[in-house]
Structure 1
C-alpha cells in the first residue's frame, strides 16, 4: 500500500480520507483472512470426517423419496452454513461497516432480510434443485440438455423481472420525480435517440451510505436504477454522465452478451457434471455408504472449482473491457469530465482502494481500478 497520499490523487482525495481508506482496507483484509481461514478449516473437518455422508445416513431412514431426500439434505446444509456465517455477517455489518461510517442497516432490517432470503431460497432454490434431481432420475446422463433449457429460461426470466419482482421484496423502488434531473435525462435520451422511460430510485440508504447505479432487464422490461445515495451526493451533470455509462452497456450489447455467456457457462458445467453425477466413488469419498446424487453434487462443486475460477477470471477480463467501452460511450455522447468527477466522488465516498495489486485485479476485479479508468478517459 502507498501509505503517503500520492501526488496524482491529491486534487480529489484529501489526506484524512486517504488514511481512513487505508485503515478500512487493512481491516477488511484482516477480517477476510479470518473468515477464509475459518471456512477452510471447516471444510477440511467436514471432508476429513465424512460429515456429508453422515447427514445422508441420518436422513435416509426418515425419507424414502430421493427428490425430497435431496431437498432435505441441502436444506440442512443451507441452514447450518448460514447459522455459522451469521456471526461474521453481523460483525462485518454492525462493527466494520459501522466503524467507517457506511452502515445504515438496523437489526430489524438485517433479520427481515434473512427471513426473506430463506423464503426465496426455499421457493426458487428448492424448485430448481427439485427439477434437477427429477431430470437426473428421469433422463440419466442426458439430463444436462433438459436442465440447460430450464436454466436458460430461468436466467432469462430473472434478467427480465429482477427489478420488478425480487428487488421490491428488499428495497423500495420509486419512479424518478419530475425536476431538473429528470429534464436533463430526457434531454440526453432525446439526443441519443434512446427512450429512457423506466428510471427508478432505490432506497439504498436504508442499508448503506455506499452509492451505485445499474441497468437491468431485456427489451421493454429494461430499467435504470439509481441509488438515492448517488443522487444525494452528485450534481445533475454527474448523474447524467453515470446514466450515459449505463446506457453504454445497453448500446454495446453487454447485457445480451453477458446473458449468452452465462448460458454457455451453465451448459459447460452441466455437461461436465453428466460424467460424474452417477459415480458412486464420489459419494463414498465424501463419507456416504452408497450412491447419493445430492452428495455427488457436492463433490462435483468441489472438483469444478478450478474450472469455475478460470472461467471467472475470463469473465472479469470481459467485464473490465465492457466498463471501458461504457465509459467511452459516455465520453462520446455526453461529457468525459463529468463522468470523471462522478467516478472520483464514488471512489472517495466508498473509500475504494486506489492502488490494488495488478495480479489481484486480474483475478478478482470485475471493474477496472479508478485510476486506469481516468487515464483511459483522458486519452
Structure 2
C-alpha cells in the first residue's frame, strides 16, 4: 500500500530539485575560469585556495541534500512511513496523538542519523582549514542543545498540525499560516533574549572608538543606533562577521569579537555602516513580512497536495504517516525556492552596501573590508553564476566590490 499518489505537483517539485542538484554538482566540480578583474585584488594562490575549500563544502552540502531527499522519497513513496505508523499505533494502543508524537520522534531520529555524518564532517573540514576552534566536546554540546530545542519545538508543532488539520479539514492551512506568522514575529523578539544566550555571551560595546563610530554612522544615516553588542564568537570560530537583528525597539547590531580583534578601525566602521543600512531600511521587518507570504503559499500548496494525493476518508483523522509527506514537501519546496529567497536577500545586501558608502563618505574602506573578509575567511570571490544565483544570500565578493565602486558618495552635511 502506498501512502500518496503521484501527481504533477510532486513530479514538478522532484524534477526541479533534481535539475538544480545536477547543475549545482556540475558547477561545483567544474567552476570555470575566474574573472580577470578578481586578480586586481587577489593572487592566483588565494583564489585557488578558496576554491578548494568551497569545492569540499559544496560537495558536503549537495551530498547531504541528495541523501536526505532519496531517503524521504523512499520512505514516503514506499511502505516505510505506513509501517512506522502501524508500529507507533500498536505501542500506543491506538491512541492517535500519542502515536503521532512517537512517529515524529522515530522519524526525527532517522533524519538526524542521516544528516549527522555530514554535519560532523563539515565541522572537521572547518577545523582543518582553521575556521573552527571547537573541540569535539564543545561541538557535541552545541549539537545536543540545538537538537533538544528542535525536537521540543517540532514535536509541539506536530501535535498542533494534526489537531488543526483534523478539526478544520479544509481551512487548517489558514489557521496554521496565522499561527506561524505570529510565531515568526514572536521568535524574532525572543530569540536574542532566550535562545542566542544559550550558545553565546553578548555584552554591550564599551570601546570608546567603536562607540564614536556608531555615533558618526548614526548621524550620517539619520537614525538613532543605541544597541550595539559584541558576541564571543571566538569561542568557536576564527571567522569574522556581524549582523543586524530585531524590529522596532528590539533593534540591535551584533559584532563578532573576532571582527574587533582582527580588523582595522576603518573596516570595522564599514561593517557598522552596512548593518546600520539594514536598520535604516527595516530589512528584518521586510524579511519577516516576505516570510509570512512564503508560508501562506507553501501551506496552500501543501493543503492541495494532502487533499489530492493522500487516501483520507472523510470524517476520519489524517493518517499519521502523512507527517512524512509534510517533511518531504517542506524539504523539496525549501530547496526549490532557494533561488527566489536568496535573490531577495542579495538585493537587500546590495542596498546595504550602497547605503554604507553614503554613510561612510568613503568607498576605499568598504572595498578593503570585502577584500580582507575574502582573504581571511576564504570566500569564493567569483563563484560560478549558477552557484551564486542558487545559494548565495550575499552577492559574491567581486559583485560587492563592483557595487561599492559604482555607488555615489553623498556630500557631507
Taking structure 1 as the reference length, what is the TM-score of the superposition? 0.89
Secondary structure at 2:169 match in 1: helix
Cα distance in structure 2, aligned partners of 1:72 and 1:283 = 21
1:161-198 CA-to-partner distances (Å, cap 9, x unmatched) read: 21221111111111112321222212322343322221
Distance in 1, matches of 2:182 and 2:294, equals 14
Indicate yes or no: 2:400 matched with 1:373.
yes
Contact 1:278 / 1:291 at 8 angstroms: preserved in 2? no
| 1:369 Cα offset (Å) | 0.9
Counterpart CA distance in 1 for 2:105 and 2:331 is 22
CA distance in 2, matches of 1:118, 1:322: 31
Deviations 1:74-111 (A, max 9, x none): 111112221232222222212x1122111211112112
Query: Residue 162 of structure 1 contacts residue 217 of structure 1 at CA under 8 Å; is this kept in 2?
Result: no
SS of equivalent to 1:13 = coil
Q: Which one has more relative contact order, counting CA pairs under 8 Å at least 6 apart?
A: 2
Aligned length: 373
Rate the CA distance shift 1:136–1:5 in 2: closer, same or farther, 3 A: closer
Please say which of residues 317-326 and 249-258 is displaced more in the overlay.
249-258
CA distance in 1, matches of 2:108, 2:288: 27
Measure the CA separation in 1 of the matches of 2:398 and 2:166. Answer: 52
Deviation at 1:254, TM superposition (A): 2.0
State whether structure 2 residue 389 is matched by structure 1 residue 362.
yes
Residues in 2 aligned to 1:353 and 1:120: alpha-carbon distance in whole angstroms = 32
More off after superposition, 171-180 vs 308-317: 308-317
Cα distance, 1:253 vs. partner?
Answer: 2.8
Q: State the SS of the aligned residue for 1:194.
A: coil
Find the aligned partners of 2:177 and 2:33 in 1 and give their Cα distance: 52
For 2:121, the equivalent position in structure 1 comes to: 91
Q: Report the CA distance between 1:308 and its aligned residue.
A: 4.3
Q: Is the 8 A contact 2:68 2:111 kept in 1?
A: no
Determine if the alignment matches structure 1 residue 350 to structure 2 residue 380. no
Structure 2 CA distance for partners of 1:373 and 1:132, relative to 1, 3 Å: same
Unaligned runs of at least 5 residues, structure 1: 285-289
Deviation at 1:5, TM superposition (A): 8.2
Alignment of 1:94-109 (within 5 A): 94=124, 96-109=125-138
User: Does the Cα contact within 8 Å between 2:251 and 2:279 map onto a contact in 1?
Assistant: no
- Where does 1:168-317 land on structure 2 (aligned, <5 Å)? 168-277=197-306, 281=310, 292-303=318-329, 307-317=333-343
Query: Once the two structures are superposed, what CA deviation does each residue of 1:16-72 show, in whole Å capped at 9, x if it has no partner?
Result: 433322321233344445444543553454346421111111100122332332222
Deviations 1:211-264 (A, max 9, x none): 211111111011111111111221222112111111112222322221111111
Q: Secondary structure at the match of 1:225?
A: strand
